[in-house]
Amino acid sequence: MGNFFFDEAFIDGPDRVDGKAKVTGAAKYAAEYELSGLTYGVLIHSTIARGSIKAIDSKSAEKAPGVLGVISHLNSIKVPGYDMSVNPGQGPAGGKGLQVFNDAFVRFYGQPIALVIADTFERAVFGASLVKFQYSREQHLTDFEEAKKTVAPVAGARYNDFVKGEKDAYKTAAVKIEAEYIMPNEVHNPMELHSIIAQWKGDDKVMVYDKTQGVKSSQRSIMQAFKLPEENVQVISKFVGGGFGSALRTWPHVIAALIGAKLIGKPVKLVLDRQQMFTMVGYRPFTVQRIGIGATADGKLTGITHEADSITSSYEEFTERTVNVSRGLYACPNVTTRYKVYPLNLSTPTWMRGPGEATGAFAVESAIDELSYALKIDPIELRLINYAETDQDANRPFSSKFLKEAYQLGAERIGWKNRNPVVGSMKEGDWMVGYGIGSGMFNASRGTAKALARIYADGSLLVQSAVSDSGPGTATAMTQIASAVMGVPFKKTTFELGDSSLPPGPTQGGSTTTSTLGSAVNDVCLSLKKKLFELAKDNPVFHTATIHNVALNDLLFENGSIFLKADRSKKVTYSDILNKAGLSQLEITEESKGGEDARKYSSYSYSVHFVKVLVHPATGVVKLDRIVTVVDAGKIISHKTAESQMFGGAVAGIGMALMEEGVIDHRYGKWVNNNLADYHVPVHADVPAIECILVDKPDPIINPIGAKGMGEVSIVGFAAAVANAVYHATGKRVRDLPITPDKLI
Ligand code: MOS
């Protein structure tokens, strides 16, 4: 088979353009740059959950070898963009993150309260161990159950009940299900720790190497914090070792490093440790959901009520679309949703893969399964009976929806028809066998992006945009689009990203990068083709007996040449065109965004996950035996990286279903399993070969490339598929994740 690992023909389509650099260690992540005079920062975090810092004794730390500074609210610079009105008494506000070193207040256990900088990392760690804090402690609240009894949820119009049709109509249905489902706190835990190198170049100019899903959004946050013009802030993020949403925001450690670098006048490298990853970069918030769902005896839904209570921090409001999935996944005339968040003395939660929908779909897709047993209707059949042909929520047609195809393809692949629907009826050796299905949806959209395309006289193509690639394969997909549109061989095409000084690209979030940036790359390449055409149209080679004025439409752009469609022997290479014009390169930069047309439609991606589980009756161990994961994400640009996205969603879904749970000891308000030994995530032994099916049908409306998105939807509904399979195997319905063995025996 040859050098299969980097063999272009292996699997389907080219390898990741950055794959080799990543697996060989050549890729440079944010903390891996060597700068002259680089110093090392270590953050100290609070060890109480609420109160204030009364005193800091940093004398021995300051005298420790190599220590260059101990920075806290006592000696920090005033950050000009900080809003001094933010104080603990005010309650949560939207979009106002923790303002590091701005005051003496402690708002959660694990809050960054001081930064020790030294000439080596080890000396910074030692210095940090010498700093002593005196606190004035106040009663904290980190327990949701307690909060529900004692504090009011955050108020505001967005928390108003949503009622379509008759309120709580499920209550009077012929057949109904009422149940409560719990999603624990989950922590993103990407492999790469959050890190930054901050360097001031003079008083008002900074350069940072950041782990971020958005070089432009990171740049904007730093501009706002320090009131700097765009051209004075450069953010580099060439490689990102996973994010899953944790790198969507600019967190306080970034500002802390910038404060530190400014105060000591040297570049500072700051890497969070794994424990700090649990309190400083967000988490998926604990959520309790109550679902009431009712149907006629023949399975037509008559009412869905979906209520969710979740948490936020005491200083910032965070909400997600947890209950919205009930408004759109199925056709139902009566839908009621209620959503509340309670402020706790914890750090602010944030978006985590499939934010909102992943939590909501666990509940709804479990409840639909419960209903299927109550109705004695096959769970796929029940979904088809209630298939939504139009967007029920927005009352608009879908730009495309191939969920039916996804059900069918997945059911065939897993052999759904061989499943004995009787609970507890299937066995393999000692193991009980269960099959389950769960599906998901996630909003698909197209934002605005700019890209540059430049063709060189040697025929190679460069495309640039300021975007990050946190793993989905954006650089690869963009290279494929540029190569295909321009007719330049893949190997001669380069996509450059990860630098805020490139033309502004989108933040890599909400499954929008391929749609947004892929369209921009498509559009800018089309424009570059037109420019090439202008240079080439008078070339005598295109003048034949019948064609005098060659038009763009008469030509083909392929393999580095322009051909006459009517006679492919008439051609001129891009190199020749540029050389003849005396140009070393030809380029264009263009902004691209969606039009009015797309707004007349609703766009969603859809996933369906089928799993076969084995449950051991004596130990309660659940093993995923088979996974078939199917996605309707529109046109698939890069099959290999798209499959990989779906694999990642399934792996994270196994974690959500069986393992992940951030545990807080409410006596101290402290996360107690804040390491990768105690916070369990799937390892190879937990993951079977995952079978992925890409429906791969272009969306004709959303954008010119037909691609929707898949990063989020890959996980949405997965945990329900597992819970449903566990029920099918055992007759035990686990409604609080994760499904650990103790809940089954
Ligand atoms: Mo995704 S939660 O927008 O990284």
Q: For residues 87 and 702, which has the higher predicted lDDT (pLDDT)?
A: 702
Whether the CB of 353 sits within 6 Å of ligand 1 = yes
Query: What is the 353 CA–ligand 1 centroid distance (Å)?
Result: 5
Exposure b/e, 118-132, CB count within 10 A at least 16 = b: bbeeebbebbbebbe
Q: Is the pLDDT of residue 95 over 70?
A: no
Whether the CB of 351 sits within 6 Å of ligand 1 = yes
Amino acid at 230: E
Q: Please give the pLDDT value at position 84.
A: 62
Query: What is the 19 CA–ligand 1 centroid distance (Å)?
Result: 22
In 537-633, alpha helices (H): 574-580
Query: What is the 551 CA–ligand 1 centroid distance (Å)?
Result: 44
Query: What is the 674 CA–ligand 1 centroid distance (Å)?
Result: 22
CA atoms within 13 A on the CB side of 6: 9
Q: What percent of the chain has pLDDT over 90?
A: 93
Whether the CB of 509 sits within 6 Å of ligand 1 = yes
615, β-bridge pairs: 432, 622
pLDDT tens figures, 472-513: 999 999 999 999 999 999 999 999 999 999 999 999 999 999
Sign of CA dihedral 68, 70, 76, 79: positive
Sign of CA dihedral 225, 110, 271, 678: negative
Strands 431-443 and 604-615: antiparallel
Sign of CA dihedral 560, 565, 571, 577: negative
pLDDT tens figures, 573-583: 999 999 999 99
Q: What DSSP assignment string belongs to 649-688?
A: HHHHHHIIIII----EETTTTEES--STTTS----GGG-P
Whether the CB of 248 sits within 6 Å of ligand 1 = yes
Whether the CB of 358 sits within 6 Å of ligand 1 = no
Q: Please give the pLDDT value at position 12.
A: 59
8 A C-beta contact, residue 51 and residue 138: yes
pLDDT tens figures, 322-365: 999 999 999 999 999 999 999 999 999 999 999 999 999 999 99
Nearest Cα to Cα of residue 314 among 139, 176, 499, 494: 139
Q: Please give the pLDDT value at position 393.
A: 84
Q: Please give the pLDDT value at position 91.
A: 62
Whether the CB of 510 sits within 6 Å of ligand 1 = yes
Query: What is the 128 CA–ligand 1 centroid distance (Å)?
Result: 33
Ligand 1: residue whose CA is nearest its atom 4: 245
pLDDT tens figures, 255-312: 999 999 999 999 999 999 999 999 999 999 999 999 999 999 999 999 999 999 999 9
In 3-111, DSSP assigns E strands to 39-45, 51-57, 67-71, 93-94, 105-106
8 A C-beta contact, residue 137 and residue 104: no
Whether the CB of 318 sits within 6 Å of ligand 1 = no
CA atoms within 13 A on the CB side of 329: 32
Whether the CB of 283 sits within 6 Å of ligand 1 = no
CB-based contacts of 715: which residues, under 8 Å, 6+ apart? Answer: 353, 354, 358, 440, 649, 650, 652, 653, 656
113-140 average pLDDT score? 98
Q: What percent of the chain has pLDDT over 70?
A: 97
Angle, alpha carbons 347-350-352 (nearest 5°): 135
d(CA 691, CA 725): 17
For the chain, the C-alpha Rg in angstroms (whole number) is: 28
Amino acid at 742: D
d(CA 405, CA 274): 42
pLDDT tens figures, 715-729: 999 999 999 999 999
Whether the CB of 190 sits within 6 Å of ligand 1 = no
d(CA 4, CA 125): 44
CB-based contacts of 139: which residues, under 8 Å, 6+ apart? Answer: 50
Q: Is the pLDDT of residue 454 over 50?
A: yes
Whether the full predicted model's pTM is greater than 0.85, yes or no, is yes
d(CA 482, CA 489): 9
Question: Measured from the CA of 245, which atom of ligand 1 is nearest?
Answer: 4
Question: Measured from the CA of 511, which atom of ligand 1 is nearest?
Answer: 3
Q: Please give the pLDDT value at position 13.
A: 79
Q: Which tokens in the block code for residue 357?
A: 């929908």
CB-based contacts of 718: which residues, under 8 Å, 6+ apart? Answer: 358, 438, 440, 607, 609, 611, 629, 649, 650, 652, 653, 654, 656, 657
Q: Please give the pLDDT value at position 3.
A: 39
Task: Please list the active-site residues.
Answer: 712
Q: What is the dihedral of CA 529, 535, 539, 545, to 10 degrees?
A: 60
Q: Please give the pLDDT value at position 5.
A: 42
Helix/strand/coil for 92: coil
Question: Measured from the CA of 355, which atom of ligand 1 is nearest?
Answer: 2
Tell me which DSSP letter residue 286 carries. P
Query: What is the 1 CA–ligand 1 centroid distance (Å)?
Result: 37
pLDDT tens figures, 32-72: 999 999 999 999 999 999 999 999 999 999 999 999 999 99
Ligand 1: residue whose CA is nearest its atom 3: 509
Query: Mean pLDDT score of the chain, rounded to an integer?
Result: 95
454, β-bridge pairs: 462, 587
Question: Measured from the CA of 509, which atom of ligand 1 is nearest?
Answer: 3
8 A C-beta contact, residue 709 and residue 506: no
**Residue 291 to residues 71, 117, 185, 334, 546: CA-CA distances in angstroms?**
49, 51, 20, 13, 70
pLDDT tens figures, 401-442: 999 999 999 999 999 999 999 999 999 999 999 999 999 999
Question: Measured from the CA of 510, which atom of ligand 1 is nearest?
Answer: 3
